[in-house]
Homo-oligomer: A and B are copies of this chain.
Amino acid sequence: MTNATNRRIVLASRPHGAPTQENFRLEEVTKPTPKEGEMLLRTVYLSLDPYMRGRMSDAESYADPVAIDDVMVGGTVCQVEASNHPDYEAGEWVLAYTVGWQDYAISTGEMVIKLGKEPQNPSYALGVAGMPGFTAYMGLLDIGQPKPGETIVVAAATGPVGATVGQIGKIKGCRVVGIAGGEEKCRYAKEVLGFDECIDHRAEDFAEQLKNACDKGIDVYFENVGGKVFEAVMPLLNTNARIPLCGLISQYNATELPEGTDHLPLLMGKLLTKRIKVQGFIIFDDYGHRYGEFAQDINQWLAEGKIQYREHLVQGLDNAPEAFIGLLEGKNFGKLVVQINDPL
């Protein structure tokens, strides 16, 4: 199916707190035509990721915000529909970071990675074999430095980052304790992903259960959620623990700092007395030069069946906003991907 219009979702307004449908607007514009040296990309899969919440805000951050009325940003797996570019031909699959939430975009090849003509699982480039997997790999191995026998804790254990962190941790000989929302996800983390334990953060005695699961304390806490999970983790951190800080999904929708007790001195005191390292990182900025290492390892592990991967596929661009809103609430189960168009 091809058509002459380009559907796109733009940022209509900035959210205050959790995003709502009103913050997005679906538009139809004319499908663009590639000039000499350009190609037309047709989006097949759109990745939805928590970091996008940050781009909807104009608070200072590591990347510029999406401007009002601009197309929402995001990684996409596309096919070249028409090419006037010498290096690309029609039908090829690519991973692109300049397309975002829309059917079509013109590309000069910048920020485009070739995926071949008949890739086995093209959408994996948005997940385990792409940015989320790369994030898990470098954060865990370079910042976390896990040693065999150590205990790793990771939340959002069935998401594309958490699931990869845990499975790499098992490959490296560690005890892996996941945290996830609900019994089904926890069972999946243990039975399919091979985690040693997985604790439901919705349980009333969550902190107690986590403590019991980490009877030798925590050596690496891969931080992607923040909030009450981090509060439960803090007392369990061992001497010389490492905290790769990759995300804080629980606080992305917060409009102001919580009132009550100031836990900052508690954290700093813990970091000091336990000689702990916390290190924030943004995967391509900090580790772009090491993508090759990751690609080699992850493809080998996937081929050997050592890494399992689950996608949560949503159909249709018009369902992207709802799916994204649900992502921030943990409603997805696996890597959230929107299929926008059929393959050519």
**Does A301 have its Cβ within 8 Å of any Cβ on chain B?**
no
Q: In the docked arrangement, what's the CA distance between A264 and B233, Å?
A: 14
Contact B263 A261 (CB under 8 A): no
Q: In the docked arrangement, what's the CA distance between A278 and B264, Å?
A: 13
Q: In the docked arrangement, what's the CA distance between A281 and B251, Å?
A: 28
How does the 8 Å CB contact mask read for A235-274 relative to B, with 1 for contact and 0 for none? 0000110000111100100100111111111111101111
Q: Which of A39-47, A54-62, A79-87, A209-217 has 4 or more CB atoms under 8 Å from chain B?
A: A54-62
- Residues on the B chain within 8 Å of A262, using CB: 257-264
Contact A62 B275 (CB under 8 A): yes
Q: In the docked arrangement, what's the CA distance between A90 and B327, Å?
A: 73
Partner of A267 from the list B240, B267, B272, B273 (CB cut-off 8 Å) is B267
- Residues on the B chain within 8 Å of A266, using CB: 257, 264
**Does A26 have its Cβ within 8 Å of any Cβ on chain B?**
no
CB neighbors of B among A28-46 (8 A): none
- Residues on the B chain within 8 Å of A227, using CB: 265
**Does A282 have its Cβ within 8 Å of any Cβ on chain B?**
yes
**Does A313 have its Cβ within 8 Å of any Cβ on chain B?**
no
- Residues on the B chain within 8 Å of A261, using CB: 257-259, 262
Q: In the docked arrangement, what's the CA distance between A272 and B62, Å?
A: 9
Residue of B nearest to A226 (CB): B268
Q: In the docked arrangement, what's the CA distance between A43 and B267, Å?
A: 37
CB neighbors of B among A92-146 (8 A): none
Residue of B nearest to A250 (CB): B265
Contact B281 A275 (CB under 8 A): yes
- Residues on the B chain within 8 Å of A316, using CB: none
Residue of B nearest to A262 (CB): B258
Shortest A138–chain B CB gap in Å is 12
CB neighbors of B among A268-304 (8 A): 268-269, 271-282, 285-286
New contact pairs (7) apart from A223-B268, A264-B264, A276-B280, CB-CB < 8 Å: A245-B271, A258-B262, A259-B260, A259-B262, A263-B263, A263-B264, A275-B286
Q: Which residues of A are in contact with B by a Cβ distance under 8 Å?
A: 54, 60-62, 223, 226-227, 230, 239-240, 245-248, 251, 254, 257-269, 271-282, 285-286
